[in-house]
C-alpha cells in the first residue's frame, strides 16, 4: 500500500472567510477513502484543492512524497489526478462523445477519428450500463444520464487518483450499483479513490477508510470497518440523531389537485391521479420514468394535454404563473440549470419566484433582507457572507436555498423533485420534518424521489411510474422497496430479479 | 422606331441631400424619356459603395444586355477598369461628374466642375471679406472630390489675408454639421463667415448659429442650390448672401443626351462641363425647383 | 457574467468606477485644452446632443440586460422622425399650427416607436428569430422606408410648425433645455426600474438564465417583448426631441446611432451577453462618447481623418479601465 | 442555445434545410425573372463577388462559434487593401512589375491581416475586454487609418501593376475564376476544420461553456486568440482577391462588410451566442445575400430606394424558415 497523494494542514480562505482550517489527508493506491461531512463542511473545497482546481491558502500537497504545487488543474491531470465535480462540468451544446473526449480527441494526423471515439464512448457508457447514443447532445439528457456521461468521461482517462464528489446524488439505486462496481474494479486495479456521498450506506459498502469533516475542521479518520452509519452521522452532525422520519400526518378528504389522463407528448402518457389536502404523495420510478416530465407538464413548463384541477378549478394550461397563483409550485430536480441563478446573490435568487410579494412596483429591499434571514434559519442555510453568489454556496446549501425560494411563494401544493439531492443526513432530517409539518398545516406535498427509503418514510401513498406510464399505486403497509421496484420495472410477483 | 434599346444608369445612393437631388433628376428624366421614346428601356441602380456599383454594372451587362451605360462613378479609381471593360464590349459609355482615372474611355462626359465649385466660392470670400477676417470651413465626406473643392477654395483665398480658423468634416450631413458648428462657435469668439460647402450642412450650420444668437456676426455660403436655401436667397436673407451651383440636374442632361445619341443620329459624344455659377438674390429664380426633393 | 460573479468586492469597486474615471479624465482633458469647454454654452450643447443617443441607450440597456440586442434603433429613429413630420404637415390644415399639432405629432412619434418596437419584439420573442437578424433586417427596412418616403431627399417640417416646435429642443426651464431634462428623467426612471422594480430584476434573470426565469414563473416571452417595446417607445421619445432641432429627417438621419447606443451601454458596464445591467453606467457611457467628439472638435489636435482612430482608442481604454479588476483573474 | 439543444431530430432537419430552401427559392425566383440569370456570365459574377464576404464569413463562423464577434473586418479589409497597395507601389522600383511584385503584395496583405487579427485577439483574449468593444474600437481605428493614408481620397495601385494583377480576379482555370476557386477552397477547408478537427470542436466547446473548455485542458486564451488571427488572415486573403478587382482602396471600401459577414453566419445557422457553428451554412448565407442584390438588379421591380427593405425582409424570412422548427417549442 503506497501513499500517492498527501495533504498536510490545508487551510483555504475565500476572501476573508476561512472554510478549511488545517485539514490533513492522504490517499493510498488501491484504497477507497471516503470523505463525509455536513453540507458546507468543506468536502468539495478539499477535493478541488486535491484536484488542482483550487490552490490552498496554506498547507502542503505531496505527490508520491514530493511536495507539489498544482498551478492549474491541467498539471494535476498531467500527474494522473482526475476529479468528477459535484456540479456538472459538461458543455450542453456538445454531444456525449464530444464531451467525453473534449481536450484529448483521438485523431489520425490532423483529423478526428469519429467512429473510434464514438465506439469507445459507447463502451465506457456501457460499463455503467448507460445506453444513451454518443451522438445526442448532452443538453437533451436527463440529469442522471448527464452524471453518467461525467463519470464515463473520467473512467476514460485511466487515472492514478480519482476524486468523486457526490457522483451518486442524482442516480437511482440501480445506476448507483453499476457505478460502485466500477469503483471497486478501479480500486482493485490500484487506483486511489477519494469518494464522497451523503448516502452513508454507499460509504459503508465501498469505503476502506473514512474521514469526517465538520465546519472545515478534521474530526476523525478511521477504517470503515465497524464504523456504523449511525456513528458516521453522529460524527458528521456532532449530535445524536433522533428517528430520521417523522410520523406521517393523516390526509383530509378534500381533493386539492386532480389530474385526468394527462400526457406530455413523447415523454409520458395518460396519467391520472388525485392529491388530498394534508397529504404527502410519493412518486417513485426508475430514471426516465417520466416523473419530472409529468410534473413539469402539470405546472405548465411543458406542452401537454389533459385536465388539471386545483381546488376544483381547472388550471390554465401552459402558464407557470397561473399555477403559482393557484398555489401550485414545482421545485426542479435540476438546481444548476433550472433552479438558481448561480451568478446572482442569495437575495435575488430567494425572492425571484415570489417577487410580487415584495412590492408590485417598488421592491422592498428591507423585506427581502428579512426574508433572507428568515430563510437562513428556517432552512439552516450555511452562508459565510450574505452577499455571496448562489454559485459559491455548497451544493447542499444551494438545494436548501432553492427549497426556501419555492416555499417563499407560500404554495398550497408543492411538488418537490428530488428534495434531498446532495443533502446531508442532518439536514435531510430537517427537510423531512419540514415536509410533514407542511402536510400537518393542511398543505399538500408531492415528493418525487429516486431514494426509496425517502419515498417510503415520507409518503402515505406512493404512485409508481415506469416507462412514461403510471404503473400502479401503493398505500399504507404495501409501500415496500420490493413492491415499488417490481411495479417500476413491470416484473410480476414470482420472478424475483434485481436489474 | 424599329430597334429597342436599354440604357443602364448607375449612380450613388441618395445618402445625402445632393445625391438625393441627383437621384430625383435621374428618375424624373428616365420617366420623361420612357414616355417620349417607347423603344427605350432603362435600368437604374443606386449603390452605397464602389464595390456595389461595380456589381450593378456587371449585372446590367450580364443580364440586361444594355446598349449604353450612364455612370456617375462612386469613386474614379475603382470604377475605371470595370467601366473600361464595359466599353470594350462595344457599349456606349457616358460618364457623369467624376472623371475616370484613365482619360478617353467614355464616349460622352458630362460633369459639374468641382474645382470650379471651390474656386467660385473662394473668389466670393476673397472679394467680400477684409484682410484678417476669420472663417471656418465644414468639409464633406472625405473623398477626392471633397479634396478638389477644398483645395480650389484654399487656392482662391490664398493671399487675401483671410485666415481659416478650422476645417472639420460635417460629412454633408445636417446633424454632423450642426454639432461641428456648435463646437466651432464655443471655440472661436470671432467668426465672420462660414463656408459650408453644401446646403445640407448649411442648414445645420445656420441652426447652430441662431441657437448661439450670433446670426448678425457671420454669413454662410453653402453649395449645390438646395431649394430651401435658394428660397431664402430669393427672399434676400442677409445670412445667405449667395450660393454656388453644382447642378444635380447634370445627370438628367447626361441621360437625355445618351438617349438622343441612341434613338437619333445626332452626334453627342464629347465633354460637357457644367460650370458652377454664383446664385445671387437677383438670379435665384431660375435655380429654384420647388418640387425637387433637394 | 461568470467573470463578474467571481470579481471579489475589492476588484468590483474598480470595475464600478472605471467608466466614471474615464469620464473625469476626459473632462479634465477637455478643460485643459479649451477654456470654453466647461462654459455654460458648451456643457449645454454636449448634454443636449447626448440626449437622443442617451434616451435610446437607456432602453437598450434593458434589451441587452435581458440578453437581447437591437441594431435597428438608428434607422427606426429616422423612420419615426419621417412619419412624425409627414403626419404633422398633413395635420396642419386640420389642427392649425399650435399646441394640439405638436401634441398630435408627439403622439404619432410615440405610437410609431411603439409599433416598431412591437414588431421587433414579436419576431424575436414569439417567432423566436435571433434578435441580431431581426433587428438587422428591420434596420435595413426602416432605413430604406425613410429614404423612400423622403424620395431620396429630406423631409422637412412645415416652416411655421417648426418655428413653433423649435423651443422644445432649444428652450427649457431655469436654463436647462428640455432634451437635458427629459434625458435626466428617463435616466433616473430607468435606474429606478432596473434596480428597484420586479421588471429590472426579471430582465436580469432572463438574461442570466432563461430556463431559471421560466421556472420562476416569469412570462419570458412577454418580458422579452416588453424590453423591445420599451426601447421602441424611447426611440419615439428621442425623436420628439430630435425633430425640433433641425425640423427635418432624411436617409442619413440616425446613421450608426445603434452602434453608439450599444457601445455606450457596454462602456457603462452592462454585460453584452445579458444578466447584468447598469443604467447609470450607460449614461456615463453616452457622455463619454459625446465628449470625445466635442473635445476633438474643440481642440483640432490632429488630422480630422484620425478622429475615428482616437475615438476607437478612447472607447477601448475606457473599458480597459473598467475591466482591469477582472483581467486580473 | 438551450432551445437548440432541445430541438428534436425531426425538427432539426427543417432547421438544417432552412437556409438551403431559402437559397433554392431565390434561385427559382431569379431564373423566372430573367433568362440570363442562370447564364454563365451572371453565375460567375455572383459567385466571384461573393468571394470577399464569403472568405471573411468563413473565418467569422469560427469566431462566433467560439463565442466571440468581430465588427472590424470591413474596415480591416479596407486598411489591409490600402497597406497592400502602398507597399506594392513602393516596391515597383525595386521588383518591377511582375510576379514577384504580386507575391510580395500578397505577402504584405496576409501579414497585415495576421497582425490586425492578432491585435484584436490579444486585447480580447489576454486583456479580457468585451470583443464587441475591442472590435468596435478597431473598426473605427482602421477606418480612419485608411482615410488618413489615402488623405481622404483613394489609394490606387499603379496602373501597369494593376493590369498585370487584374487576371487574379478576372481569370481562372477551366472558366472558373480565381476568387471562386479560392472561396471554394476556404469553404471546404473551413468545413473540415469545423467538423473534423479538434480545433473546430474546441471552438464549439469554448463558445458553449468556457469553464468546461478550461477544465478540459484546452488552452482557452490561445484558442480564442487563434480564431481572431485566423479571421484576420482570411481578411488578408479576401483583400488579395479584392484589390485586383477595383485596384484601389478608400475610406468607403468594405463599409458594412462586417454586418454582411455576421448576417451570413447567422443565416447559415451558427448560433450567435456561440457553441455551435456550421461553415456550409455560412456559405449558403453568403450566397443568399449576394443573390438578393443580384436579383434586385435583374428586374427593376421597385423603386431602388426600397431595395434595402426587400433585403431586410428576405434575410428575416430566410431565418424564419430555419427557425421554424424551434418556434414550435
Ligand atoms: N467561491 C467561494 N466563495 C466563497 N465561499 C465559498 C466558495 N466556495 C465554497 N465556499 C464556502 O465554503 C464552504 C464549503 O463549501 P463546500 O462546497 O466545500 O461544502 P461541501 O462539503 O461540498 O458541502 P456539500 O455537501 O453541500 O457539497 C461553504 O460554506 C461554502 O459556502
Ligand atoms: N431536459 C431533457 N431533455 C430531453 N429529454 C429529457 C430531459 N430530461 C429528461 N429527459 C428524458 O425524459 C425521460 C424522463 O426524464 P427523467 O429522467 O427526468 O424522468 P424522471 O422519472 O424524472 O427520472 P429522474 O427525475 O429520476 O431523473 C428520460 O428518458 C430522460 O432521458
Ligand atoms: Mg460539495
Ligand atoms: Mg426527474
List, for residues B161-206, the tens digit of each pLDDT value.
888 888 888 888 888 888 888 888 888 888 999 998 888 888 889 8
Chain D residues within an 8 Å CB radius of B43 = 297, 300
Q: Which candidate, B264, B255, B268, places its Cα nearest to that of B27?
A: B255
Answer yes or no: are the C-beta atoms of C248 and C176 closer than 8 Å: no
Kindly tell me if the per-residue pLDDT of B1 is higher than 50: no
Phi, psi for residue A35 in degrees, rounded to 5: -115, 120
Shortest-distance atom of ligand 2 to CA A285: 21
Sequence-distant (6+) residues with CB within 8 A of A241 are: A230, A233, A234, A425, A426, A429
Residue B268: CA atoms inside 13 Å, Cβ hemisphere, count? Answer: 23
Kindly tell me if the per-residue pLDDT of C205 is higher than 90: yes
What is the per-residue pLDDT across D262-283, written as a single tens digit (0 to 9) for each? Answer: 989 988 888 888 888 999 999 9
Q: Rounded to an integer, what distance in angstroms lies between the CA atom of residue A384 and that of residue A100?
A: 35
Q: Rounded to an integer, what distance in angstroms lies between the CA atom of residue B149 and that of residue B118?
A: 4
Residue C118 has a CB neighbour count (10 Å cut-off) of 15
Kindly tell me if the per-residue pLDDT of A293 is higher than 80: yes
Confidence of residue B258 (pLDDT cuts 50, 70, 90): confident
Ligand nearest to the CA of A86: 3
Per DSSP, helices labelled H in chain C are: 2-6, 9-33, 40-65, 73-95, 99-121, 131-149, 159-165, 167-170, 178-196, 198-208, 210-215, 220-246, 257-267, 279-298, 307-327
Query: Under an 8 A CB cutoff, do D211 and A137 touch?
Result: no
**What is the DSSP pairing of strand C172-173 with strand C176-177?**
antiparallel
The reported pLDDT for the residue numbered C274 is: 87
SS3 A139: helix
Mean pLDDT computed over every residue of chain A = 85
Report the range of poorest mean pLDDT among A205-209, A327-331, B290-294. B290-294
The reported pLDDT for the residue numbered B2 is: 52
Q: Which candidate, D153, C249, C80, places its Cα nearest to that of B200?
A: C249
Kindly tell me if the per-residue pLDDT of A453 is higher than 60: yes
Report the range of poorest mean pLDDT among B241-255, C176-190, D177-191. B241-255
SS3 B149: helix
Phi, psi for residue A316 in degrees, rounded to 5: -65, 125
Answer yes or no: are the C-beta atoms of B287 and B279 closer than 8 Å: yes
Chain C residues within an 8 Å CB radius of D327 = 126-128
- All three cell numbers of B115, joined, read 474645382
Query: In what helix (H) or strand (E) does residue A47 lie, and over which residues does it extend?
Result: helix A43-50
Confidence of residue B111 (pLDDT cuts 50, 70, 90): confident
DSSP A95: B
Q: Rounded to an integer, what distance in angstroms lies between the CA atom of residue B83 and that of residue A451?
A: 79
Mean pLDDT computed over every residue of chain B = 83
The reported pLDDT for the residue numbered D110 is: 95
pTM: 0.85
Burial of residue B84, with CB atoms counted within 10 A of its CB: 0-12 exposed, 13-18 middle, 19 or more buried: middle
- All three cell numbers of C181, joined, read 431634462
Neighbours of chain B (3+ CB pairs under 8 A): C, D
Average confidence (pLDDT) over B117-121: 87
Interface mutation vs chain C, best among A143, A341, A389, A406, most C CBs within 10 Å: A341
What is the per-residue pLDDT across C274-328, written as a single tens digit (0 to 9) for each? Answer: 889 999 999 999 999 888 888 887 776 667 777 778 888 888 887 777 665 443 3
Residue D141 has a CB neighbour count (10 Å cut-off) of 25
What is the per-residue pLDDT across D163-189, written as a single tens digit (0 to 9) for each? Answer: 888 787 777 788 788 889 999 999 999
SS3 A468: coil
Sequence-distant (6+) residues with CB within 8 A of A180 are: A168, A202, A205, A206
The reported pLDDT for the residue numbered C78 is: 92
Burial of residue C259, with CB atoms counted within 10 A of its CB: 0-12 exposed, 13-18 middle, 19 or more buried: middle
Measured in residues, chain C has a length of 329
Residue whose grid cell is 460524527? A235
Measured in residues, chain B has a length of 294
CA nearest B13 in C: which residue? C152
Q: How far apart are the CA of A142 and the centre of ligand 2, in A? A: 4
Kindly tell me if the per-residue pLDDT of A118 is higher than 60: yes
Q: Rounded to an integer, what distance in angstroms lies between the CA atom of residue D224 and that of residue D124?
A: 8
Beta bridge partners of A276: A255
Q: Rounded to an integer, what distance in angstroms lies between the CA atom of residue D44 and that of residue D31?
A: 15
The reported pLDDT for the residue numbered D318 is: 78
Q: Rounded to an integer, what distance in angstroms lies between the CA atom of residue C210 and that of residue D3?
A: 10
Average confidence (pLDDT) over A397-406: 89
What is the per-residue pLDDT across A156-188, written as a single tens digit (0 to 9) for each? Answer: 777 888 898 888 887 777 778 888 888 888 888
H helix and E strand count, chain B? 9, 12
Q: Rounded to an integer, what distance in angstroms lies between the CA atom of residue A399 and that of residue A209?
A: 28
- Nearest by CB to residue D304, choosing from B44, B74, B77, is B44
Q: Which candidate, D120, D145, D106, D66, places its Cα nearest to that of D239?
A: D106
SS3 A325: helix
Full pLDDT tens readout for chain D, 329 residues: 333 333 343 344 555 677 888 888 889 988 888 787 888 888 888 888 899 899 999 999 999 999 999 999 999 999 999 999 999 888 888 888 888 888 999 999 999 999 999 999 999 998 888 888 899 899 989 988 988 888 777 788 887 888 888 787 777 788 788 889 999 999 999 999 998 898 999 999 999 888 888 888 788 899 999 999 999 999 999 999 888 887 888 887 888 888 889 989 988 888 888 888 999 999 999 999 888 888 877 776 667 777 778 888 888 887 777 665 443 33
Kindly tell me if the per-residue pLDDT of C80 is higher than 90: yes
Q: Could you give the C-alpha distances from C259 to C250, C286, D142, D145, in angstroms and in order?
A: 19, 11, 16, 20
Answer yes or no: are the C-beta atoms of B119 and B156 closer than 8 Å: yes
- All three cell numbers of C187, joined, read 435616466
Q: How far apart are the CA of A373 and the centre of ligand 1, in A? A: 19
Average confidence (pLDDT) over A5-28: 86
- Nearest by CB to residue D147, choosing from B44, B51, B142, is B142
Residue B278 has a CB neighbour count (10 Å cut-off) of 15
**What is the DSSP pairing of strand A255-264 with strand A328-331?**
unpaired
- Identify which has the larger pLDDT, C149 or C17: C149
Q: Considering only residues 234 to 293 of chain B, which have any Cβ-Cβ distance to chain C shorter than 8 Å? A: 292-293
Kindly tell me if the per-residue pLDDT of A206 is higher than 60: yes
Q: Could you give the C-alpha distances from D131 to B106, D144, D282, in angstroms and in order?
A: 47, 20, 21
Q: Ligand 2 atom 28: the closest Cα is on which residue?
A: A288
Burial A336-367 (b: 16+ CB within 10 A, else e): bbbbbbbbbbbbbbbbbbbbeebeeeebeeee
The reported pLDDT for the residue numbered D224 is: 94
Q: Could you give the C-alpha distances from B58 to A167, A350, B69, C106, C296, in angstroms and in order?
A: 65, 63, 11, 46, 41
Query: Under an 8 A CB cutoff, do B212 and C41 touch?
Result: yes
Q: Rounded to an integer, what distance in angstroms lies between the CA atom of residue B161 and that of residue B158?
A: 7
Q: Rounded to an integer, what distance in angstroms lies between the CA atom of residue C92 and that of residue C308?
A: 42
Report the range of poorest mean pLDDT among A287-291, A318-322, D257-261. A287-291
Query: Under an 8 A CB cutoff, do A321 and C219 touch?
Result: yes
The reported pLDDT for the residue numbered C190 is: 95
Q: Is the ipTM of this complex over 0.95?
A: no
Q: How far apart are the CA of A277 and the centre of ligand 2, in A? A: 28
Phi, psi for residue A216 in degrees, rounded to 5: 75, 5
Q: CB contacts < 8 Å between A and C, how many?
A: 77
Amino acid at each position: 500500500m503506497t501513499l500517492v497523494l498527501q495533504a498536510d494542514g490545508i487551510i483555504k480562505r475565500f476572501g476573508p472567510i476561512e472554510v478549511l482550517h488545517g485539514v490533513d489527508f492522504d490517499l493510498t493506491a488501491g484504497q477507497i477513502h471516503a470523505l463525509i461531512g455536513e453540507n458546507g463542511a468543506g468536502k468539495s473545497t478539499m477535493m478541488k484543492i486535491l484536484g488542482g482546481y483550487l490552490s490552498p491558502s496554506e498547507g502542503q500537497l505531496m505527490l508520491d512524497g514530493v511536495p507539489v504545487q498544482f498551478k492549474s488543474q491541467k498539471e494535476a491531470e498531467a500527474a494522473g489526478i482526475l476529479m468528477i465535480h459535484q456540479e456538472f462540468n459538461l458543455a450542453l451544446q456538445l454531444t456525449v462523445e464530444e464531451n467525453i473526449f473534449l481536450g484529448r480527441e483521438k485523431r489520425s494526423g490532423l483529423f478526428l477519428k469519429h467512429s473510434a471515439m464514438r465506439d469507445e464512448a459507447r463502451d465506457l457508457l456501457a460499463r455503467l450500463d448507460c445506453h444513451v447514443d454518443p451522438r445526442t447532445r448532452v443538453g437533451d439528457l436527463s440529469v442522471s444520464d448527464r452524471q453518467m456521461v461525467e463519470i464515463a468521461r473520467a473512467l476514460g482517462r485511466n487515472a492514478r487518483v480519482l476524486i468523486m464528489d457526490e457522483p451518486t446524488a442524482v442516480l437511482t439505486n440501480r445506476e448507483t450499483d453499476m457505478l460502485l462496481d466500477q469503483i471497486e474494479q478501479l480500486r482493485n486495479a490500484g487506483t486511489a479513490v477519494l469518494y464522497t456521498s451523503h448516502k452513508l450506506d454507499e460509504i459503508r459498502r465501498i469505503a476502506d477508510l473514512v474521514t469526517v469533516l465538520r465546519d472545515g475542521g478534521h474530526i476523525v479518520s478511521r477504517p470503515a470497518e465497524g464504523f456504523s452509519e449511525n456513528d458516521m452521522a453522529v460524527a458528521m452532525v456532532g449530535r445524536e440523531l433522533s428517528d430520521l422520519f417523522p410520523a406521517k400526518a393523516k390526509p383530509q378528504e378534500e381533493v386539492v389537485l386532480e389530474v385526468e389522463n394527462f400526457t406530455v407528448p413523447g415523454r409520458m402518457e395518460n396519467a391520472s391521479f388525485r392529491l388530498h389536502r394534508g397529504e404527502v404523495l410519493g412518486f417513485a420510478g426508475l430514471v426516465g420514468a417520466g416523473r419530472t416530465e409529468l410534473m413539469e407538464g402539470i405546472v405548465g413548463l411543458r406542452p401537454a394535454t389533459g385536465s388539471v384541477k386545483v381546488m376544483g378549478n381547472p388550471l390554465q394550461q401552459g402558464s407557470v404563473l397561473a399555477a403559482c397563483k393557484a398555489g401550485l409550485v414545482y421545485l426542479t430536480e435540476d438546481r444548476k440549470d433550472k433552479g438558481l441563478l448561480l451568478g446572482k446573490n442569495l437575495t435575488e435568487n430567494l425572492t425571484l419566484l415570489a417577487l410580487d410579494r415584495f412590492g408590485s412596483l417598488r421592491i422592498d429591499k428591507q423585506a427581502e433582507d428579512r426574508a433572507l434571514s428568515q430563510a437562513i434559519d428556517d432552512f439552516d442555510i450555511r452562508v459565510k457572507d450574505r452577499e455571496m453568489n448562489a454559485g459559491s454556496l455548497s451544493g447542499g446549501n444551494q438545494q436548501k436555498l432553492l427549497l426556501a425560494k419555492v416555499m417563499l411563494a407560500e404554495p398550497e401544493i408543492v411538488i418537490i423533485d428530488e428534495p434531498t439531492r446532495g443533502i446531508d443526513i442532518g439536514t435531510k432530517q430537517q427537510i423531512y420534518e419540514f415536509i410533514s409539518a407542511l402536510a400537518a398545516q393542511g398543505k399538500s406535498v408531492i415528493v418525487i424521489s429516486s431514494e426509496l427509503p425517502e419515498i417510503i418514510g415520507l409518503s402515505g401513498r406512493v404512485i409508481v411510474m415506469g416507462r412514461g406510464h403510471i404503473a400502479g399505486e401503493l398505500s399504507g403497509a404495501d409501500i415496500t422497496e420490493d413492491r415499488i421496484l417490481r411495479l417500476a420495472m413491470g416484473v410480476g410477483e414470482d420472478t424475483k430479479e434485481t436489474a | 422606331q424599329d430597334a429597342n434599346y436599354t440604357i443602364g444608369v448607375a449612380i450613388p445612393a441618395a445618402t445625402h441631400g445632393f445625391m438625393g437631388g441627383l437621384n430625383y433628376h435621374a428618375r424624373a428624366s428616365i420617366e420623361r424619356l420612357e414616355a417620349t421614346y417607347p423603344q427605350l428601356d432603362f435600368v437604374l441602380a443606386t449603390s452605397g459603395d464602389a464595390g456595389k456599383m461595380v456589381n450593378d454594372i456587371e449585372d446590367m451587362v450580364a443580364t440586361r444586355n444594355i446598349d449604353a451605360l450612364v455612370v456617375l462613378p462612386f469613386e474614379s479609381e475603382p470604377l475605371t477598369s470595370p467601366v473600361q471593360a464595359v466599353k470594350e464590349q462595344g457599349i456606349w459609355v457616358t460618364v457623369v461628374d467624376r472623371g475616370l482615372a484613365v482619360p478617353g474611355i467614355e464616349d460622352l462626359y458630362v460633369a459639374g466642375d468641382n474645382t470650379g465649385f471651390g474656386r467660385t466660392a473662394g473668389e466670393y470670400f476673397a472679394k467680400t471679406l477684409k484682410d484678417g477676417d476669420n472663417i471656418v470651413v465644414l468639409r464633406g465626406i472625405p473623398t477626392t472630390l471633397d479634396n478638389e473643392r477644398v483645395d480650389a477654395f484654399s487656392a482662391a483665398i490664398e493671399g487675401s489675408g483671410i485666415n481659416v480658423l478650422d476645417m472639420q468634416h460635417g460629412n454633408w450631413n445636417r446633424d454632423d454639421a450642426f454639432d461641428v458648428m456648435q463646437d466651432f462657435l464655443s471655440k472661436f469668439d470671432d467668426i465672420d463667415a462660414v463656408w459650408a460647402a453644401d446646403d445640407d450642412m448649411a442648414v445645420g450650420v445656420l441652426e447652430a448659429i441662431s441657437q448661439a444668437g450670433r446670426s448678425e456676426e457671420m454669413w454662410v455660403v453653402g453649395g449645390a442650390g438646395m431649394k430651401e436655401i435658394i428660397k431664402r436667397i430669393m427672399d434676400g436673407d442677409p445670412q445667405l448672401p449667395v450660393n454656388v451651383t453644382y447642378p444635380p440636374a447634370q445627370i438628367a442632361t447626361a441621360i437625355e443626351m445618351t438617349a438622343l445619341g441612341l434613338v437619333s443620329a445626332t452626334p453627342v459624344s464629347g465633354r460637357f462641363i457644367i460650370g458652377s455659377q454664383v446664385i445671387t438674390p437677383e438670379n435665384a429664380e431660375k435655380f429654384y425647383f420647388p418640387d425637387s426633393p433637394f | 457574467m461568470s467573470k463578474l460573479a467571481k470579481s471579489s468586492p475589492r476588484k468590483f469597486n474598480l470595475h464600478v468606477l472605471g467608466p466614471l474615471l474615464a469620464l473625469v479624465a476626459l473632462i479634465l482633458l477637455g478643460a485643459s485644452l479649451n477654456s470654453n469647454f466647461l462654459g455654460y454654452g458648451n456643457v449645454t450643447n454636449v448634454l443636449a446632443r447626448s440626449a437622443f443617443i442617451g434616451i435610446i441607450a437607456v432602453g437598450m440597456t434593458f434589451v441587452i440586460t435581458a440578453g437581447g440586442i437591437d441594431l435597428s434603433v438608428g434607422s427606426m429613429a429616422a423612420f419615426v422622425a419621417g412619419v412624425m413630420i409627414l403626419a404633422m404637415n398633413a395635420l396642419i390644415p386640420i389642427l392649425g399650427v399650435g399646441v394640439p399639432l405638436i401634441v398630435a405629432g408627439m403622439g404619432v412619434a410615440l405610437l410609431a416607436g411603439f409599433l416598431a418596437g412591437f414588431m421587433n419584439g414579436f419576431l424575436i420573442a414569439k417567432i423566436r428569430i435571433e434578435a441580431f437578424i431581426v433587428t438587422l433586417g428591420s434596420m435595413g427596412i426602416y432605413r430604406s422606408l425613410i429614404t423612400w418616403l423622403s424620395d431620396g431627399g429630406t423631409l422637412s417640417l412645415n416652416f411655421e410648425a417648426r418655428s413653433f416646435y423649435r423651443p422644445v429642443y432649444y428652450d427649457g426651464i431655469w436654463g436647462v433645455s428640455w432634451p437635458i431634462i427629459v434625458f435626466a428623467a428617463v435616466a433616473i426612471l430607468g435606474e429606478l426600474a432596473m434596480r428597484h422594480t420586479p421588471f429590472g430584476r426579471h430582465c436580469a434573470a432572463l438574461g442570466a438564465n432563461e430556463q431559471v426565469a421560466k421556472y420562476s414563473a416569469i412570462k419570458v416571452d412577454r418580458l422579452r417583448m416588453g424590453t423591445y417595446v420599451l426601447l421602441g417607445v424611447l426611440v419615439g421619445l428621442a425623436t420628439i426631441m430630435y425633430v425640433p432641432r433641425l425640423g427635418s429627417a432624411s436617409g442619413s438621419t440616425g446613421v450608426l446611432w445603434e452602434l453608439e447606443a450599444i457601445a455606450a451601454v457596454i462602456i457603462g458596464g452592462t454585460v453584452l451577453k445579458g444578466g447584468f445591467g447598469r443604467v447609470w453606467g450607460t449614461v456615463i457611457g453616452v457622455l463619454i462618447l459625446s465628449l470625445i467628439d466635442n473635445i476633438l472638435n474643440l481642440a483640432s489636435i490632429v488630422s480630422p481623418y484620425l478622429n475615428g482612430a482616437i475615438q476607437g482608442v478612447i472607447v477601448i481604454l475606457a473599458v480597459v479601465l473598467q475591466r482591469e479588476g477582472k483581467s486580473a483573474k
